[in-house]
Each structure stands twice: as C-alpha cells, then as structure tokens.
A and B are shown apart, each in its own frame.
Chain A
Amino acid sequence: MNGQIVKLFAFILALFVLLLGFTSYWSVFDAPGLKANSENRRALLLEQRIHRGDIRSIDGQVIARSLPSGSGKDRIWIREYPYGGLFGNPIGYSYTERGRVGTELAHNDELIGNKSEFLSILDELSGHKQEGSTVVSSLDAGVQQTALDGLAGQAGAVVAMVPKTGEIRAMVSTPDYDPNLIPDDYSQLNSDPAAPLFNRATQSGYPPGSTMKVVTATAALDSGEFDPDSTLDGSSPQTIDGVPLSNAQGESFGQIDFATALTYSVNTALARVGERVGAETLLDYMDRYGFNQKPEIDYPSFQLATSGVYDGSSLLTAADAIDVGRVAIGQERLLVTPLQMAEVAATVANRGERMCPRLWSKVIDVDQRVDELDPETCAKVMDRRTARQLTEIMKDVVSEGTGTAAALYGIDVAGKTGTAEVSGRPGCDAPNQAWFIGFAPADRPEIAVAVTVECTSGYGGDVAAPIAAQVMQEALDG
C-alpha cells in the first residue's frame, strides 16, 4: 500500500499547490482588477476613517468639510457642505454610499492625504496618522453667488475664468442641487427630469449660435485670408451649401467690412467667410481652441463632454461632409460646452495664448506645506496681432452692436452674443438658446465669461449679456 500512499500524498500536494496559485492570483496578480471592481467598497470604507481635508474657495470660505462621527477606532468622517447648492456641481460630493464626483473625485488623493509608497511607509514608521490636505479651489464664492443669482432659476450655465492663469472663478449649472442631500435623496435627484446632477457647464453640448463667429473670425484673420477691413457681401438670403440662409429678421446689409459683419453678427457674410477659409483651416483653429478633445482640466473625465461637430455620438473631421458655412456661424451639428466657450473668450483676452483651465489654486497639507498652481499654456491659438484685432471688434459688439447689455460703467468690455434656434427640443417650448461670451477690462483683461441660458424666448444680447455683466463686475470688484 505504500506506493499508493505516496501517490496520494503527491495528489494532495498538487491540490495545495493549486490553493497557493489561486491565493497568489487574487492577492497579487489580479489585485488591481479586484480593487477596481465597482462592487468593491473596501477603499471607500477605509477612506472614511481618514480625516478628509477641507475644500475652500479662493476667498477663504469653507466649501466642504468633514465632521467626525463615532469615537476611537470606529470614528469616521462625514462630509458636509455649508453652502448647500451654491457649489454643488463643480465641487461634487464624497459619500461612502454614492462614491464621489467633481472636484471631490479629481482631487481625492490630496483630500485624503495619499502619498507615494515610500513616504507613507515613513509615516507609518513614525506613527503619523494619514490626514487629508486642504484643497483651495479657484472658485470665488462671491462670483459664484452672483452667477447663480444672475441665472435666476433659468436652466443654464455660467463659467468665469482668469485669462492669464486659466483659473475658474465661477462654474454654475442650474438647476443646482444640494450635495448634503446625496446620501438620502440620490435616487430622486438622479431621476429628476430637470437633471440637477448634470453639470451643464462641462457636460452639456449646446449649439453655440453666433458666439462661434469668434472662432471663425480667428481662423479668417490669423490665417491671413481676411483682415478687419475686408469687404464682405452681407445681402440676405444667400445660398450656402445648396440651402438658402437668411440674416436675423431677414435684414440685408449689402457690402460691409469684416469688422462690421462681426459686430452686427451678419450670418450670410460670415458663412461666406467660413466657406472661403475652408473646413480644414476652421477645424484646425477649433482644435487649437480645445475643440474635438476633452478639456485639459482637473475634473473627472466622465463629467466632461467634448465640443465639436457631431453625427450622432461620433465627432466629424474635415474629411467628413460638413456644411462649413453653417459651422462658421454656429449652426450645423455643432455642439459646445459652456466651458469651451469660456476658453474661447479667455484665449482672445490672453492675447491668443490658451491657458489650461484649472479648478484648484492651492493645496495645503497638514504640516502647512503649500503647493501652488503653476499656470500652464495649453495651446498658442493665434498671433497677438489677431487677438488685438478681435478684441477691437468685440469691444464694438458691446459698445454699439448686439451686446450692449453687457456694458459696464467706466470699463471697456469685449464680447460676442449668440442666439441658437432650438425649437422642437423635447421638454422646451421656447425657441432659443441664449449666449454671451466676453471679457473685461478689454485692454487689460482680468476675467472672461461664458453665459448660456436654455430654452428662452429672448436673445443672447438681452438674456445672457446682462448676467455676464453682473458676473464680470463682481469679479473685478472682488
């Protein structure tokens, strides 16, 4: 029987090697996959025990803080948002039950104090408890409040940014939501047809209307095809891509120069400009502005939409059949986010240099070490000369053109209005999407804005421009 006993032992040995193999697989080789499994809440549960850092606004207000619950080893920290809905969409929330979104997710590592493997081993040896850092957001509570008040309950979005640094001073999406309600009312908020959890500033693709003409003008002037004095045909209607196109109210302008066409937002003239410039050049300038890619911002990728010309859910390129004349005036199948249009305004304001948008400005760790934002250039979009020419025309838009409602007392404002026709959209019986993009002061810009209002019967110049004026005023005063 001894031979069989030895063979039986060999069999048992094989079984135990199998156990060792599977243990290695789960604990080492497949560990990253298991940790990333959406059903695995262990990381969230463990992070609950860490004192998560505050999020502050740049003017020193506490946007998010953690309050202790329980004591000793069982003590956990629960998030609280003192401003309720004011910062709901940009900042997001962090709850064990629902995970996290927004800045809470994008800056999670800093907020829970994650360090490199080496540093955390040192901490463990020296008996330091892991503690989160304070993240100072680039948002300003005053500007944010003004933007929210300005929208006054209408659905829409406001983005305000500092042209020189890319820092976002206000990001408002309405209807807003109070992140404190997430643990209890998530399902209700998530199924609300008004979509309060949807960050319209970064996730919503809207037709840009005439604000797109700033991009078209950039391509036209910077490529050298046109200059501000070039003569254009402003008659209406004209046939563009085989289909007649009219100006607003069918107004015919006759022969006008380039600057005037932009100041009065003459569709036919600028559609012709678009056709002259061509799809390739126009799309190239769109790319430089940041279209056709996710914005390079410290924000969760799934909460960012890409701006561009869409066919269903796929982006079109210059090689596809595109009605470039209508893209040039913000029609066709062009969809943009308010964040993208704020970048357009900020780029012109920053003399053609597009700064990467940023929602943070500082991180302060528990030992009071400060890490400050180092502004980054994302793209060089146009020459300084082109930017100056555009600024002059955009000043005219506010001083005498379609955007006079954005004017500020004693300060030059540059801007562009837009009104996209959206009639027939589900859940909306008003015809327009109103836009205004701009910056101030025009010659030494400190703030750039994009404002959009969904589903309104008004125009960009009378619905969106006044909100932009208030936001810019607040940003310059503060």
Chain B
Amino acid sequence: MSARSRELFGLVPVAILVTAGFTAVFIVESAQLGGTSLFYGAYFLALCVAAHLIIRWRLPDADPFLFPLVALLAAFGLVMIYRMNADLARDQANWFVLGLIAFSATIIFLRDYHVLERYRYVIASAGIALLLLPRVPGIGAITNDAYLSIQLGPITFQPTEIAKLCIVIFLASYLREKREVLVVGARRIMGVTLPPLKHLGPLLVVWGIAMLMLIFIRDLGSSLMFFGVFLALIYVATARISFVIIGLGLFLLGAWFFASTVGHVGERFDIWLNPFADASGAGYQISQSLFAQADGGLFGQGLGSSLLELPQVSADCAEQFPSCGAILPAPHTDFVYSVIVNELGLFGGAAVILIYLMIAARGFKTALLANDGFSKLLATGLTAVFALQAFVIIGGVTRVIPLTGVTLPLISYGGSSIIANMILFALLLMISDDARRHARTQQGGDLV
C-alpha cells in the first residue's frame, strides 16, 4: 500500500472520532443545539481530505502517519469545543481553513525548505520582532497579566506561536554550520567543557531572549518552551551534555533571580507549591483544574456531562460561555486538557498524551531519516518545540510544573496556534518527503 493510501486510511479513526463525538454531544445537549451544528464536524472532515489531497499532490513520499495523528488531535479539540459552545466549534473549523491555506501555501511556494538557511538572520530578527510586538503600545494586549497577544482591530493574534517557528529555523541553520567549531574549539576549564566564546555569542543571545521574555513579556511558559528547544538542539548538534547542563544552570539561575525580584514570576511558583493556600484567589485556576480532573476518574463523566458552567453568571459579564460563567476558567484554551480528563477520564487524558507521543515519534523518525544536518536539526527542533509546548501546558494544569499560559497545540481553541502548527507540520512533512524520496530511490522499495 502506498504511503498516501495509508494516510487516507489513517483518517478513518478521525472520521469516527468526530462523528461519534459530535453525536454524543448532540444527544446530551439536543435541547440547546440546532441540527446545523452537526455540519461543523463534516466541514472539518472535508478539510482533512483536502489537506490529504494536497499532500498526495506535492509530497507523495511524506510520512503517512503524521497528518492523521495531527487530524486526530484537532478532532479531539473540535469535539471538546463543540461541547462547550457550538459557535466556537464553527469558528475553530474556520480557523482550520486558514490553517490549511497556510499549510498549502508553505508546501506549494516553499519548494525547497533549504532556502530558509540563507535567510536565517532575517528570520531570527523577524522572530524577535514578533516576540516584542505585544509590548508595542496600541496593539499590545494583556492576557492573564502577561503580554501574550496583539490586537489589530477585531483580530487578536499571539505572535509567540509564529515566533517559535522562526527561532527553531534559526537555531537549526546556525547550529548546522557551527556545530563542529563548537565541539572542536571547546576547552576544558576546571573539569567543565566550555564552548568557545566567539561562537557562543548568538546562542547567548537566545538565552538572553528567553530571560527577556520572562521579565518583559512575562511569559514563563513560552520562555520555558523556547529554552527547552534551544538546549535540545545544542545537545543533538554537539552531543555535549555539559552544554545542556551549563545552559540549564544559566536558565535556572535567571529564573530564580526573576522569581525573587519580579512578583509575577515568584507568585507563580508559590501557587505551584501551595495551590490550595489561596484556592479562591491566586490558586483558583490550578485548584479548579485539579478538582475537575478528580471528578473524571478512570472513565470520565461522559462527553457533555461534566460541570463547566456556574449556575449564576455574574451580571457584569456579558459574553457567552466559556468567556463568562466558567467554573474552570479558560476551559477551551489553557485548561482544555482538564476538561478532557473530566469528561473522558484518565483514559481520555492518556489517549491525548499518547497521540502527542506518537507525533513526537514520527517527527524524530523523520529527523533520523533526513539526509543533511539542517534537515535533521530542523525536524528535531520542530518536533521538540511541539512536544515541549504540549508538556508545558499539560504539565501546568496537572501541577507537574508551575502553571503558564500556552495553548495545547492543535486542541485548544485559537487561530494563531492552529496556523502556526499547520505551518510547522507542512515543514515537517516536506523534510519527511525529501528524506523518504531519497531512501526510496536508493532502496527502490516502500518505506514506512
């Protein structure tokens, strides 16, 4: 069976999940939902098939499992969002149209992703500029006490989502070129292997950016995610675990410094350690997240059956649920994982984690198969940043690490996240297509 036929078959579980999920929610909430809302599910499935056709046309050799897994996550998210508010599910499906356009445009217009190497400083500058945009007066907007988004007229955009791609591309191309000198030029000082200072400069800039984000953007989650991918790539490029330890040490030092000087960061840590100390105030979000998961048990309460809305909505909140009246704040974005565990239980949560893990496995497999250093590092970086983002937010809502506001990739409601992740997977599929085509022409066989 060809890779593309596998991919098409892989979409069958997606179709089943969407159909069963929408039907279950519709049955539970039929009093509130109109019949047309069921159509949003079909709309989403049509988009999946369209994406498949584009891959079949331009990337016939790409990994057959990546896209169905991506679609499965998106389907999970769509069902959960449909369960909260049917209008939001329609909007989310619409975001997928834009995501699909970005996905196709990347594949069609960026014929060879290796050209990205040439523009690495442009891309890096663009990434940093994007990160700083939310602090520009007039367009910056504060979400949860952090400068995460920009507001242009009616559209809110989270530039960190795109910036993460820029930073990964820059790191991959920079490390591809400098990996040898970083290793060869390294000196041992007091038993510790240190990279040569000359080539360390740009990397320290990345560290500086991560620190800056902590204090300037106040976005601990993205900072953790960026720095994580930075360390992952340094390790993969140089094979020196000491670099990672030094980097981690620097990050923890910076984080500790800011935690003790910047109230915002320190408070996050305190809440993490003692979530119930102020469970109706600062610790409200995380305690509600844990309470919601406790109600889930092994099998969950069933789709559409959990308690999400407060019975009495305060009068000063005019918007619809889930913007107003949610017992667990942001159930469709930051806390969507807690809602999944609540309604589908530990098994539902485990399924989500497993899908992320399988995507990571396919992504790293792509990196293993890739022919050149840039492709390997780029595939590794894209996969790592995706997996780390999932870890940072799931870890946040399950109290593994302090809670920070990043979206759960492909599941959370939100346009910027969908578009950025669709571009991410377009790049990953292009690397995969390139690598597997070489392998196929050399071995002359089919490859899974």
A450 to B345, CA, bound (A): 53
Decide if B387 touches A12 in the complex (CB within 8 Å). Answer: yes
Would you call B327 and A34 a contact (CB within 8 A)?
no
Question: Residues of B contacting A181 with CB < 8 Å?
Answer: none
- Contact-size category for A: 35 or more
A9 touches B361 (CB 8 A): yes
Q: Which of B31, B279, B367, B400 is in CB contact (< 8 Å) with A72?
A: B31
Mostly, the B contact residues are helix
> Which residue of A18, A70, A76 contacts B400 across the interface (Cβ within 8 Å)?
A18
- Of residues 6 to 40 in A, which have CB atoms within 8 Å of B's CB atoms? 6-9, 12-13, 15-16, 18-20, 22-24, 26-28, 30-31, 34-35, 37, 39-40
- CB within 8 Å of A: which B382-412 residues: 384, 387-388, 391, 394-395, 398-400
Cβ of A187 < 8 Å from any Cβ of B?
Answer: no
Interface bits A322-360 vs B (CB < 8 Å: 1, else 0): 000000000000000000000000000000000000000
User: In the bound complex, do residue B399 and residue A22 qualify as a contact, i.e. CB atoms below 8 Å apart?
Assistant: yes
**Given A23-B398, A45-B307 in contact, is the A3-B239 Cβ separation under 8 Å?**
yes
Q: What is the distance, in angstroms, from B176's C-beta to the closest C-beta of chain A? A: 10
Please provide the chain B residues from 1 to 40 with a CB less than 8 Å away from any CB of chain A in the complex: 29, 31-32
Q: Give Cα A340–Cα B367 distance, bound, in whole angstroms.
A: 78
B213 within 8 A of A: no
Cβ of B201 < 8 Å from any Cβ of A?
no
Contact with A along B276-309 (1 / 0, CB 8 A): 1001100000010011111111100000000101
Tell me whether B364 and A35 are in contact (CB under 8 A).
no
B88 within 8 A of A: no
Once A23-B341, A42-B327 are accepted as A-B contacts, the answer to whether A9 and B360 lie under 8 Å apart by CB is yes
B307 x A28 contact (CB < 8 A) = no
Q: Which residues of A contact B29 (CB under 8 A)?
A: 73
CB distance from A465 to the nearest CB of B (A): 50
Kindly list chain A residues whose C-beta atoms are within 8 Å of the C-beta of B42.
Answer: none
Q: Are A28 and B297 in contact (CB under 8 A)?
A: yes
Q: What residues of A have a CB within 8 angstroms of the CB of B346 in the complex?
A: 23-24, 27-28
Count contacts on B: residues with CB < 8 A to the other chain: 52
The verdict on A314 contacting chain B, using a C-beta distance below 8 Å, is no
Chain A interface, DSSP helix/strand/loop, else mixed: helix
Taken together as a complex, chains A and B put the C-alpha atoms of A1 and B346 apart, in Å, by 36
B164 at the interface (CB under 8 A from A): no
Verify B290–A46 contact, CB threshold 8 A: no
A37, closest chain B residue (CB): B276
A16 proximity list for chain B (CB < 8 A): 353, 356-357, 360, 387, 391
Q: Is the CB of A46 within 8 A of B236?
A: no
Q: With A9-B364, A72-B31 in contact, is A31–B297 under 8 Å at CB?
A: yes
Q: Are B400 and A27 in contact (CB under 8 A)?
A: no
A sample of 18 more A-B contacts (CB under 8 A), given A23-B398, A27-B296, A39-B291, is: A4-B235, A7-B235, A8-B232, A8-B236, A16-B353, A18-B400, A19-B394, A19-B400, A20-B350, A23-B341, A27-B298, A39-B279, A39-B280, A42-B292, A45-B327, A48-B311, A49-B311, A72-B32
5 A-B contacts (beta carbon < 8 Å): A13-B357, A15-B391, A16-B353, A16-B357, A22-B399
Interface residues of B (CB under 8 A from A): 29, 31-32, 232, 235-237, 239, 276, 279-280, 287, 290-298, 307, 309-311, 327, 341, 345-346, 349-350, 353, 356-357, 360-361, 364, 367-368, 373, 376-377, 380, 384, 387-388, 391, 394-395, 398-400
The 10 A-B residue pairs with the shortest CB-CB distance, nearest first, are A34-B294, A39-B279, A22-B398, A31-B294, A26-B293, A4-B236, A9-B364, A23-B349, A27-B296, A27-B346
> Which of A's residues lie within 8 Å of B, judged by CB?
1-9, 12-13, 15-16, 18-20, 22-24, 26-28, 30-31, 34-35, 37, 39-40, 42, 45-46, 48-49, 70, 72-74, 76, 96
